[in-house]
């Protein structure tokens, strides 16, 4: 009787375990594919950080699923080795990165992506995942439709149209999955809605990526067709269109801001081509190598976070070694996926591989893989490509080792979720409050909120920079100087316009030697900063009485913006500057003559 009860209890435990696994599996799908793409946290300045936290929670749930499963874990050997090589190299990049807090922040997401890659390799994809993700994208698309008439800037739930487009490039290919599952009407309606939303973003990189990935999908669908070359139809169309539009593409590219950013990034890469500058350190060292004519473009900003090309970013931070390891994962994932497998896995590979390729093409011209809303799903789908071939060599993790691994995942993700909530999300709430107070000209309240940000995260340079500016606005120049110098000397030398602001601050307090020192630093970084040039004109003209130096800076300023009111005032007021106007007129006449000669040559 006792034996029978023991068996009954054992059966009950097994059934309860399977029930719990089922609940957790559904929870993972709902949170990762359904809620995460849609959820924002509006009280925060960066209201998309909540997506990072939900991604971490998803991995935590995945760890719990592994712990409850009685079966052993089998991970594809090639997928595990290539993934570990790449992410292991990023970890090594932390140790030689000069700016550790920047590298540490990058590693937080690297850990998340690596575990999602592992989760993808172990995940058993089914229809519910497709319908949950597809439903989320329909809601996100409808949100974009509602936004567009009001703003013409459809960010949906992603904070930026390009981020929305970057994410949408993956689930849009669920269309192929739905067709294969014989949900034809669903597939057509779903594609029309998501494609319309993608078109509204006006992301040229994403639309081109969609065309290339669609050509690849055609290739996969027709690779066994009796007409041998039909499978290449999509690629042929793209090549023909590219050749026909090549002159226009080339002109647009050379006038685009990316062209100038890439030139600067290449200068950065040439200094350390093999190992790079270290994980997460592009932003800190790019300003020294920036192509200075970048600042003549109307889209130029004081800070360049990313080079607008994922491959250049990997190369600049982790060297050619990092690029090779990254491409190795891609090559092996597609190699595994293109091998023969079951009908079910063939259906999954069609959409997963097309989505991955679309993201890879898009990130030639974008930064979407630096954003978690794209990167989390990219790495998950990449892992999924290693999950199908049961005849592949695998690494088996059994018994105690499986449980230990599961617990490590659970504990690390629990810690990371708390860390991201307290150290990343909460400061963004105070930052938003501070910006709102500043916009209302309540600078004292703004400063108090910025202080709260820095109490939690002392390396938050954006909050510090805004705090220094607010101190300057209330006339507390001593504290403004202290905070600017902290940024410049300890955290992020030459951040944004810190040097220029220090120059202005020292000019206000009458320390003209320091003002000139910082203005010259600012001018080295940006020779076309009209405010800095005119600041130097004022110091040399009114304080130092160095007319020749004042004239030198004024001439440079006049070349950049001749119609500036202060420039016009100085030229009218001081006779020594009047020949600057004549030089401008001579230059204009020369330009007109050159234009006339060129037009005659064309005739």
Q: Give residue 436's pLDDT.
A: 97
Q: SS3 for 395? A: strand
595: buried, middle or exposed (CB in 10 Å: 19+, 13-18, 0-12)? exposed
Q: Give residue 584's pLDDT.
A: 54
Q: Give residue 42's pLDDT.
A: 94
Q: What is the 3-state secondary structure (H, E, C) of 15-26?
A: HHHHHHHHHHHH
Locus of tokens 């049961």: 390
Q: CA dist 516 to 171, 269, 540, 554, Å?
A: 54, 32, 9, 15
Contact 156, 141 (CB under 8 A): yes
Q: CA dist 561 to 301, 340, 442, 531, 570, Å?
A: 18, 64, 33, 11, 14
From first CA to last CA, the distance across the chain in angstroms is: 107
Q: Give residue 151's pLDDT.
A: 87
Angle at 105 (CA atoms; ends 259, 284), nearest 5 degrees: 40
Q: Give residue 142's pLDDT.
A: 96
Q: Which residues contact 315 (CB under 8 A, 6 or more apart)?
A: 269, 273, 276, 322, 323
Q: Which residues contact 576 (CB under 8 A, 6 or more apart)?
A: 547, 551
Q: Give residue 8's pLDDT.
A: 46
Where the chain has pLDDT below 70, the residues are 1-17, 340-342, 389-391, 581-603
Locus of tokens 């949950």: 132
Q: Give residue 71's pLDDT.
A: 84
* C-alpha torsion sign, points 453, 458, 463, 467: positive
**Token pair in block for residue 76:** 């594809």
The CA distance from 495 to 288, in Å, is 11
| Domains of the chain as residue ranges with CATH | 73-397 (no CATH), 440-528 (1.25.40.10), 532-603 (no CATH)
Q: Give residue 472's pLDDT.
A: 95
The CA distance from 264 to 72, in Å, is 50
* C-alpha torsion sign, points 134, 140, 146, 150: negative
Q: Give residue 3's pLDDT.
A: 56
pLDDT digits (tens, 9 = 90+) for 447-505: 999 999 999 999 999 999 999 999 999 999 999 999 999 999 999 999 999 999 999 99
Q: Give residue 577's pLDDT.
A: 86
Q: Give residue 252's pLDDT.
A: 75
């Amino acid at each position: 009787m006792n034996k029978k009860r023991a068996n009954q209890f054992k059966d009950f435990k097994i059934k309860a375990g399977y029930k719990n696994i089922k609940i957790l599996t559904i929870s993972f799908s709902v949170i990762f594919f359904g809620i995460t793409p849609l959820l924002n946290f509006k009280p925060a300045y960066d209201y998309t950080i909540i997506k990072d936290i939900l991604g971490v929670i998803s991995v935590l749930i995945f760890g719990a699923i592994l712990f409850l499963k009685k079966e052993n874990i089998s991970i594809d050997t090639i997928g595990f080795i290539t993934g570990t090589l790449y992410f292991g190299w990023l970890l090594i990049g932390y140790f030689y990165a000069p700016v550790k807090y920047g590298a540490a922040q990058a590693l937080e997401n690297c850990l998340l992506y690596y575990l999602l890659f592992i989760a993808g390799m172990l995940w058993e994809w089914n229809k519910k995942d497709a319908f949950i993700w597809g439903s989320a994208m329909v809601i996100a698309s409808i949100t974009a439709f509602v936004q567009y008439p009001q703003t013409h800037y459809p960010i949906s739930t992603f904070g930026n149209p390009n981020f929305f487009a970057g994410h949408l490039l993956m689930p849009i290919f669920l269309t192929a999955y739905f067709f294969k599952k014989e949900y034809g009407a669903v597939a057509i309606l779903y594609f029309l809605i998501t494609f319309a939303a993608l078109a509204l973003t006006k992301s040229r990189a994403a639309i081109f990526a969609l065309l290339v990935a669609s050509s690849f999908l055609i290739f996969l669908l027709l690779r066994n067709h009796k007409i041998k070359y039909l499978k290449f139809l999509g690629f042929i169309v793209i090549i023909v269109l590219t050749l026909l539009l090549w002159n226009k593409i080339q002109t647009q590219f050379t006038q685009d801001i990316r062209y100038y950013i890439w030139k600067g990034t290449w200068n950065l890469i040439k200094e350390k081509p093999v190992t790079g500058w270290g994980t997460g350190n592009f932003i800190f060292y790019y300003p020294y190598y920036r192509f200075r004519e970048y600042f003549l473009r109307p889209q130029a900003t004081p800070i360049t976070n990313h080079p607008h090309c994922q491959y250049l970013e990997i190369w600049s931070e982790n060297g050619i070694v990092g690029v090779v390891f990254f491409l190795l994962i891609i090559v092996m994932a597609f190699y595994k996926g293109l091998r023969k497998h079951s009908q079910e896995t063939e259906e999954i590979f069609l959409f997963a591989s097309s989505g991955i390729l679309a993201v890879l093409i898009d990130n030639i011209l974008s930064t979407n893989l630096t954003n978690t809303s794209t990167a989390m799903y990219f790495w998950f789908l990449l892992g999924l490509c290693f999950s199908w071939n049961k005849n592949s060599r695998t690494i088996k993790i059994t018994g105690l080792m499986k449980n230990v691994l599961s617990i490590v995942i659970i504990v690390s993700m629990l810690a990371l979720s708390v860390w991201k909530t307290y150290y990343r999300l909460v400061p963004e709430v105070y930052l938003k409050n501070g910006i709102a107070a500043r916009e209302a000209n309540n600078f004292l309240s703004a400063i108090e909120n910025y202080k709260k940000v820095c109490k939690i995260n002392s390396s938050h340079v954006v909050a510090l920079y805004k705090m220094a500016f607010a101190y300057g606005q209330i006339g507390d120049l001593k504290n403004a100087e202290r905070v600017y110098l902290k940024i410049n000397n300890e955290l992020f030398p030459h951040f944004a316009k810190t040097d220029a602001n220090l120059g202005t601050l020292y000019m206000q307090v009458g320390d003209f030697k320091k003002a000139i020192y910082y203005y010259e630093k600012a001018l080295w970084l940006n020779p076309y900063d009209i405010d800095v040039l005119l600041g130097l004109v004022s110091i040399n003209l009114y304080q130092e009485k160095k007319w020749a130096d004042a004239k030198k800076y004024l001439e440079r300023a006049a070349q950049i913006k001749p119609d500036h009111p202060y420039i016009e005032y100085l030229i009218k007021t001081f006779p020594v500057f009047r020949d600057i106007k004549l030089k401008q007129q001579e230059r204009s006449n020369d330009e007109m003559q050159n234009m006339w000669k060129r037009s005659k040559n064309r005739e």
